[in-house]
Structure formats: C-alpha cells, structure tokens
Amino acid sequence: MKAIPSTSIDYERTTQTNTLGYQAAVLRSLRAANVKFLRYAILDSFNTVRSKTVPIDHALRILKRGDDPFANPVSIAEVCYAGLPPSADVPVEGAGLTAKNVLALRPDFATLRVLPYSPSTAMIMCTSHDQRTGELSPLCNRGLLEKAMQRGRDELGVEFTVGAELEFQLYRLGSDGDELLPVDSSTFANSATLNEQEEFIADVYEKITQQDINVELIHSESAPGQLEVVLGYENALQIADNIFYAKETISAVAKQHGMKALFLPKTSMMTAGNGLHFHYGFREVGSSSNAFGDESTLTGISRRGGAFMEGILQSLPALLSFTLPTNNSFRRVGPGCWTGSTVSWSTEDKESPLRVCLDLNSGGVSNVELKLSDATANPYLALAMVLAAGSEGMRNDLTLRPMNEGGSHDALPESLTASLDALKSNNSLLDTLGGSLSKAYIAVRESEAATEQSLEEEVRNALMKS
C-alpha cells in the first residue's frame, strides 16, 4: 500500500485550509494513497459520536459542483444533535427538538486524520449549520468552544491552553469465556502493567502519535486494568479534538488486541474511578509565555489567573452538570476520592477540586487542574463552559478567595440532579449556552438522571457499547 500522506495542519490556518482548492488537493492526495473513505464526525451534546462515511470520489464530485469551500454531502437531523439521550435514539420530551429540521455538517480540514487502525478511512470533525442560511447552529458545541476561545482573544487578549489526563480500564474475557474482567489487578505506577500491556501500549502510542497528537506520559493507575494517557498542551479546540481522536483510537486498538477499553467513571465502588482531568492555563495573544503564574505574588498566581479561578469556583456547582454529566460520574467523586467535594482550591493538593500545579523544574505556578471531570463529558461543551466561567471572572476582575477555605456550607452537589438545579439558576452559563441548547441539554440530562440503574447495569451497558 502507498504511504499515508501527512495530515499535520496548523490550527491557526483554518481559513486557508478550508478553501475549495486546498480541500480538493487533500482529497486527491488521500485517494492517491489508497484512502477510500472520508468519515464526517460530530460529538452530540451528550458525548455520542455521530458520523457518516462518504467515498472520497463522491466528496471530490461535490467540490466540483461549485465554489462553496464548505460544500459537502452530509447532514444530520437537529434532534440527533441535542435531543437524544446516550442510552437510546429516542427523542426526549421537553427538549424542544423534533425530526423537522436538518443541520448541514461543514468539515474543518485542520482536523482531518487518516485513521491508522482503519487505514482506508480518514476522519474529519465538523461544525453544524442551518441548512438554509449556512449560519452556525446554536446547538453546535464545537462552535460554542470556538466562540469561547475567540472571546478570550478579542475581549481579554489571551489564548487559553489546555492539557488533559485521560484514564480508562482494559477488559477481556475471563478464563470461562463468559465474563469480561479487568486485565490485571495493578496499582498506581506499577511497572507490571506496563510490562504485561507493552504491546498494546506501544500500538496505541504509535497510532495516536501518527495523528499528530502529543503524548507526554503513560502509566498505570490505581484501579484494575487502568491506564492513564497524558495529552500535551494545545489550544482548547485542538485538545478537544485530540481527546476525541485519542478515545476513538484507544477503543479501536483495544479491540484489535482482544480487549475492550472502558472510560466509565466508576466500575466498582471498591476501586478508583476513571477521570478526564483538564489542566488550564493561558498566555497573552502574540506571546509564548505562561501568563497564569506570577512569582511576585504571595500565591504565585497572577492576578488574572486568580480571577480565572474565582470565576470557575463561583460557577462550579453548575459546571458539574457539564464535567460530571451522568449519574455514574457522581459515584466517582467525594471526600477521599482525590477529586474534591467542596468549592475550594489549593496548591498541589489532590483532594482539592481546583489544584494549582507547580512546574517541576522552576517550582513556579504553571496551571490549574480541574479534577471534577470525566470522559462521559463532551469535551467541547465542558471546555466551553469552564472557559466561559473563568473568562467571566477575568472580565469582572474577581479576587481569588483564600486557599482551602471550603467548608460544609460550600459543599458541592452530590448528584446530577443537584448540579442541573444549580445550572438552572446560573444565568451567566445559561446565556453562554443559549436558549435552545440549554433547554435541550437540561431536559435530556434530567431524563437520564431520573433513570435509575445499578452500578452493575451501568458497567454492563458500557461494555456492550465499547
């Protein structure tokens, strides 16, 4: 087979990459390398991958029909974007969406990747647009994150940077051939798992990095069969894309090795859970220097960094409805779970929900980690809302509260229902989300919150879908 062409594209050049001539050239290059299909993909509001495969030949024919650089053959019903729960393709009453309207998917060629685990196919992320006017749909979570980033540049003069820690567990059939079980009983940073799963780890690493995703660290975690993959800092949109591609790759490669990868936050109440921790920072536009830390302050956090954190803290109860968006999410968090349970922050304390991290070399403040997040969250939506809250704090020049001042009166919601109630009273986040998306999101999440399942049922259903 011919060599797969490089798809390394600068995210700052999306205007140039989304031109008719550029798209046609890329598609011809893919076809010459024996790539036959282009998979148009979105993540719906509830973190379900929705994708359609188009033959490359047909995609080229579509481009030849006119001079629209966003011409494409793919659409999706509005209700599929924000009206269906992850448990079933059944529209939720009260979401305000029906099968009536259709959204056109516009591909962002800066996200195009040839899939190393399925080399006849390339995948591309899309934004969703009104079929008639071409305007960005208010339901589009990827577009919402782009807006949050642009507001940061235009109003605050900052570029947000985000890193991610992605945790998952590996399962395979037990010796009786009837039950899926974790592949080992490892503990945190144990070399036994690295040795036993070296072939899988090497394969995952190779296939992730072939998609121009920066992997900084891989190690075992505390739960049976659990690994963590650390993804390097990127702008917020690119890290969301990288998380999407990394999860798809991990799942596919695990199957090729006779296993299943499970990102479910909690698989057993007796073991640690699976998180998706985000590390937030920012730099001034046009600068490469970290602007989150400031060695001249008592805390080591810059004034604007403190305002960013305070904005998040003031909205944290409501933000959990996006970062911990399932009933199972709340099984993973609480006192003693290394996630935090109060509205508070600290420096290098893993029991704090907002953990200020120090640079290993300089000792200075480098970023702040939000530990109350997991991989059931839509990363575009979660990042957009957290950045919106932090940006609000910066715009209002909020003063960061003292460290570790969380008490019983500052306890965080202990359920999805409670976090959704907090969201309903947070006008700033509701305004950011917009009327149609907030109505649909709350309705679907409330329907999920009302669906009672045992932990065993949750694990079984997750394994069936993985």
* pLDDT per position as a tens digit, 304-330: 999 999 999 999 999 999 999 999 999
Please name which of 267, 247, 228, 466 lies closest in space to residue 377, comparing C-alpha atoms.
247
Q: Summarize the chain as % helix, strand, coil (round to 5).
A: 40, 20, 40
- The Cα diameter of the chain in Å comes to 63
The residue type of 353 is: P
180-182 and 260-262 strand pairing: unpaired
Segments making up each domain of the chain, as ranges: 11-139, 147-465
Q: How far apart are CA 386 and CA 148, in angstroms?
A: 9
CATH superfamily of 11-139: Glutamine synthetase, N-terminal domain (3.10.20.70)
Residue 66 confidence (pLDDT) = 62
Residue 23's pLDDT band, with cuts at 50, 70 and 90, is confident
Please name which of 185, 194, 72, 148 lies closest in space to residue 391, comparing C-alpha atoms.
148
Q: Which CATH number fits domain 147-465: 3.50.50.60, 3.30.565.10, 3.30.1360.170, 3.30.590.10?
A: 3.30.590.10
Is the pLDDT assigned to residue 410 strictly greater than 90?
Answer: no
Q: Which residues contact 1 (CB under 8 A, 6 or more apart)?
A: 33, 34, 119
Q: Do domains 11-139 and 147-465 have the same CATH topology?
A: no
Asked if residues 404 and 345 have their Cβ atoms less than 8 Å apart, the reply is yes
Q: Which residues contact 107 (CB under 8 A, 6 or more apart)?
A: 18, 23, 40, 70, 72, 124, 125, 126
Range name among 1-10, 323-332, 402-411, 456-465 with the lowest pLDDT average? 1-10
Higher pLDDT, 71 or 25: 25
Residue 70's pLDDT band, with cuts at 50, 70 and 90, is low
Residue 298 confidence (pLDDT) = 80
Q: Which residues contact 398 (CB under 8 A, 6 or more apart)?
A: 306, 307, 310, 311, 314
Q: Interhelix angle for 236-256 vs 379-395, to 10°? A: 160
The residue type of 81 is: Y
H/E element, 77: strand 75-77
Is the pLDDT assigned to residue 436 strictly greater than 80?
Answer: yes
Strand partners, 190: none
Tokens of 70: 């966003």
Residue 157 confidence (pLDDT) = 98
Tokens of 368: 């702040």
Q: How far is CA 405 from CA 304, 315, 344, 410, in A?
A: 20, 16, 6, 9
Q: How far apart are CA 423 and CA 120, in angstroms?
A: 43
Tens-digit pLDDT profile for residues 129-174: 998 888 999 999 999 999 999 999 999 999 999 999 999 999 998 7
Q: Apex CA 184: angle with CA 178 and CA 188, to 5°? A: 150
For residue 20, the number of C-alpha atoms closer than 13 Å in the C-beta half-sphere is: 10
pTM (2 d.p.): 0.93
Neighbours of 258 (CB within 10 A): 10
